[in-house]
Structure 1
Amino acid sequence: MTFAIPFDNSYARLPAGFFSAQVPDPVRAPRLVAFNTDLARLLGITPGDLPEMAQVFAGNTVPQGAEPLAQLYSGHQFGNYNPQLGDGRAILLGEVLGSDGIRRDIQLKGAGRTPYSRGGDGRAWLGPVLREYVVSEAMAALGIPTTRALAAVETGETVRREQALPGAVLTRVAQSHLRVGTFQVFAARGEIGHLKRLTDYAIARHYPDADGPMGLLTAVRDAQARLIARWMGVGFIHGVMNTDNSSISGETIDYGPCAFMDTYHPDTVYSSIDRYGRYAYSNQPDIAVWNLAQLATALIQQVEDKEAAVEEATAIVHAMPALLEREWLGVFAAKIGIDRPGEADKTLVTDLLTRMARERADFTNTFRALGGPRARDQFTDPTAYDSWATEWQQRVGQEAAPDAVMRTANPAFIPRNHRVEQMIASAVNGDYATFQRLHTVLSRPYEDQLDHIDLTRPPAENEVVQATFCGT
């Protein structure tokens, strides 16, 4: 076997109560449809021939050094606690140390049933696999912490959702798959020894300078605040910010019914399962604070002096809204060309956003066009932009290089929902040209790429995606 993955596993050495050993279920006729050579190089993976890699990334062949397992966790789903979740269709093959010195998980998503499948089939269909491949890699190119996509494989089998659909497996890479829910399950069960072991493991793996449970809580808070501000800056809506989808490492994880806004409105929701808008675009900072509070509640259980721990954890969580606001202001000030914002600049940003919502401006194209003649064309009433721009131009006149700041803060290309749907429809019919083009263009989101300018166009009325769906 020429294909090799240099596994160096640590999670598999934790106690058996943390996971269930689980070999992937083989599939009928795997075919490799995408492989991320740049990421493979970072991970130290030596590629093999295509059929050989298809067997591995489909789960038919367990590579040497892998220790496949399904992780245990619980979590709050839309505010309701579920005492046991876990990897219902994902299997962690193992970990590698990249050339950058960072440890990462390699996980097969859609690799078959596990003890945590709860009646599900453990499989994925091609649409969500390609969506996660394209969107997660686009997020990485945008500079936003995220899981990555290493490979996508057609299985040669069908899976049943509302209809029979082509099956697929995604190989996902993450700095870890530790979630808020990983801590919740042991706290809820009163398994304090496991909770302490997990806390020590998370600190050693992600935040070696953190001092104990409250140090971990602080580090996670800071990472999550940076992450959510960056989501907001590109108009990204996660769709299912449950605590089992909240990563300890501060990466974007679990691209289910996610979406990028076209027309800006703070209350935008795409997820078909978010019926009451809990995870709407503008609610994401508040939900991040709520999720951190659930982590705090779990971490406190291992501390001997509960009263002191509650007081310290409360202070850490209560500091998060102000931190989120600072991070948000830094992101959005850069989007209007301000390198070092002051408090007064928040009013300038929010005034623009209010006008954008009222005048149905495209989020991405409006910010990309600032400073040029096309910015006002994004507004149904262009004079709404003109009156704001007068004050803005006075403010950015005080900046040394506003155009350069905006250029690196405002992408020209995002994974627009209608383009993602078109890509999926083509791939289901065996045509991957749209997938390859979209993936290639999104790998350079801040460049103009005039040959692909059509991908910057908002959807026509008949192309608007009203709802996005989870793949399960």
Structure 2
Amino acid sequence: MSTMIAFDNTFARLPGVFYARQDPQPVKAPRLVAWNRDLARILGLPPSAGDDFAEVFSGNRVPEGAEPLAQLYSGHQFGQYNPQLGDGRAILLGEVVGSDGIRRDIQLKGAGRTPYSRMGDGRAWLGPVLREYVVSEAMHALGIPTTRALAAVETGEPVVRERVLPGAVLTRVARSHLRVGTFQIFAARGEVESLKRLTDYAIQRHYPEAEGPMGLLRAVRDAQAELIAAWMSVGFIHGVMNTDNSSISGETIDYGPCAFMDSYHPNTVFSSIDRMGRYAYANQPDIAVWNLAQLATALIQQYEDREAMVEEATEIVHAMPGLMQRAWLRRFAAKLGISAPREEDAGLVTDLLTRMAGNQADFTNTFRALGSGREGDQFTDPSAFSAWAEGWRARLEGEPYPEGVRRAANPAFIPRNHRMEEMIEAAVEGDYAPFNRLVEVLARPYEDQPGAADLQRPPLPEEVVPATFCGT
């Protein structure tokens, strides 16, 4: 079956300062282990895939029309500025305009060394590839803006991390791979003309209604505010909210040590490298504001009178917490069955969350159970819930469809860490049944699926996954 891809590349037409031309490095024995039929349909690709797809999406064969390159960027990593990063193990093949009219990048992640690899091998091992495939597709099904996974390919070659592991390549699809760090590197270098060119490109590609750099800043702010509120509403923790992992398009990008909470606690951290809790669940809104401020600092550099723009940029950034709070309240009120939230509903939400944190209540299952009469089962002290519920039920009086609102806002299924680990362990041994099952169930997260009730269960003490790891 043909692997013709209708590339329509624009980033590759930009000057070479933005990237390095780089072909993927071939692998020994590629084998396609996952193919996203839904996304393939949108991209104009066949619903089923053969051996030639494994060749293309492993990097062994560059398809006609592709213009492979590695993008350049910098970024703040855990608050410290790194002056040059870039795609150290990812190759952008090109862009496709889908059947929905949206332009998307097609990128191979784990495709070998690039000029930006530094000391890395440019490869990925199977575990993080499957993790990103499952979690990004789950986020899409949850209705949260995200990059998506088109394919996963085993390479037939080992990758050395703490031990020898099977190699793999993920095909990631995104509205673009422009990041806050993409702007930072040219601002830091004083390359104003490149910064202007990049700003114009980002506006044209993502926010054509935006006027100038400050218009772009407002648009990114609004998109990011909605994104972070969406993360919070499903208990998602990104894990590495560095500026090089902050997408201009407002999509969730770079699923490294990400995780969904089981028991709710605002200070939950999973990332093994986040030793100080910088990117804990409750800190994500503040970090989003901090990242936006770094974008503002970069964008201001293209103005001759930079002092005059500081006030406007500051005003834009300072408005972000209020936008996130309103988006947060709208989403969490819906989780309670409230379709038209009032300002005082924030207290009702935070009271419940406080009681959940004090009673080790499962985040997802508590909200899903609301209205079932079994909500207290999630609490070590069920009276903590019943004391709160009286005020909640009173608030719902007059709400026309609280049950429908709740069910549309509260998923039954999330990618639980212990199930993800089981899936990865099985795949390393050649068993993809757990992976395929997770993909299938998580594609319908808001539906009751009695045959998958085991995937709703929180981990037993011996199943708890206390830390998640970056694939590099």
Q: Same fold (TM over 0.5)?
A: yes
Q: Which residue of 2 aligns with 1:281?
A: 281
Q: Which residue of 1 aligns with 2:15?
A: 15
Does structure 1 retain, via aligned residues, the 8 Å contact 2:35–2:49?
A: no
TM-score (norm. length: structure 2):
0.99
Q: Which residue of 2 aligns with 1:399?
A: 399
Matches within 5 A, 1:322-471: 322-471=322-471
AA in 1 matched with 2:471: G
Matches within 5 A, 1:100-111: 100-111=100-111
Does structure 2 retain, via aligned residues, the 8 Å contact 1:5–1:46?
A: no
Aligned residue pair count: 472
Report whether the alignment pairs 1:315 with 2:310: no
Which moves more between the two structures, 43-52 or 170-179?
43-52
Q: Which residue of 2 aligns with 1:59?
A: 59
Does structure 2 retain, via aligned residues, the 8 Å contact 1:47–1:53?
A: no
Q: Which residue of 2 aligns with 1:303?
A: 303
CA distance in 2, matches of 1:21, 1:434: 38
CA distance in 2, matches of 1:4, 1:355: 55
TM-score (norm. length: structure 1):
0.99
Shift of residue 379, structure 1, vs aligned partner: 0.4
Once the two structures are superposed, residues 3-59 of structure 1 have per-residue CA deviations (whole angstroms, 9 ceiling, x without a partner) of: 111100000000000000000000000000000011011011246752100000000
3-state DSSP class of the match of 2:240?
coil
Q: Which residue of 2 aligns with 1:84?
A: 84
Once the two structures are superposed, residues 165-199 of structure 1 have per-residue CA deviations (whole angstroms, 9 ceiling, x without a partner) of: 00000000000000000000000000000000000
CA distance in 2, matches of 1:112, 1:346: 48
Q: Which residue of 2 aligns with 1:42?
A: 42
AA in 1 matched with 2:222: D
Q: Which residue of 2 aligns with 1:227?
A: 227
AA in 1 matched with 2:282: S
Give the CA RMSD over aligned residues.
0.7
AA in 1 matched with 2:167: G
3-state DSSP class of the match of 2:409?
coil
3-state DSSP class of the match of 1:408?
helix
Once the two structures are superposed, residues 384-429 of structure 1 have per-residue CA deviations (whole angstroms, 9 ceiling, x without a partner) of: 0001000000001121101000000000000000000000000000
CA distance in 1, matches of 2:340, 2:202: 34
CA distance in 1, matches of 2:173, 2:270: 26
- Could you tell me which runs of 5 or more consecutive residues in structure 1 were left unpaired when the two chains were aligned: none
AA in 2 matched with 1:5: I
Shift of residue 304, structure 1, vs aligned partner: 2.0
Does structure 1 retain, via aligned residues, the 8 Å contact 2:33–2:153?
A: yes
Q: Which residue of 2 aligns with 1:291?
A: 291
CA distance in 2, matches of 1:360, 1:35: 38
Once the two structures are superposed, residues 90-118 of structure 1 have per-residue CA deviations (whole angstroms, 9 ceiling, x without a partner) of: 00000000011110000000000000001
CA distance in 1, matches of 2:410, 2:199: 37
AA in 2 matched with 1:197: R
Shift of residue 202, structure 1, vs aligned partner: 0.2
Q: Which residue of 2 aligns with 1:149?
A: 149
- Could you tell me which runs of 5 or more consecutive residues in structure 2 were left unpaired when the two chains were aligned: none
Does structure 1 retain, via aligned residues, the 8 Å contact 2:361–2:379?
A: yes
Q: Which residue of 2 aligns with 1:268?
A: 268
Report whether the alignment pairs 1:28 with 2:28: yes
Q: Which residue of 2 aligns with 1:183?
A: 183
CA distance in 2, matches of 1:233, 1:4: 40
Which moves more between the two structures, 393-402 or 415-424?
393-402
Q: After TM superposition, what 4+ stretches of structure 1 lie above 6 angstroms from structure 2?
A: none
CA distance in 1, matches of 2:38, 2:321: 37
3-state DSSP class of the match of 2:248?
coil
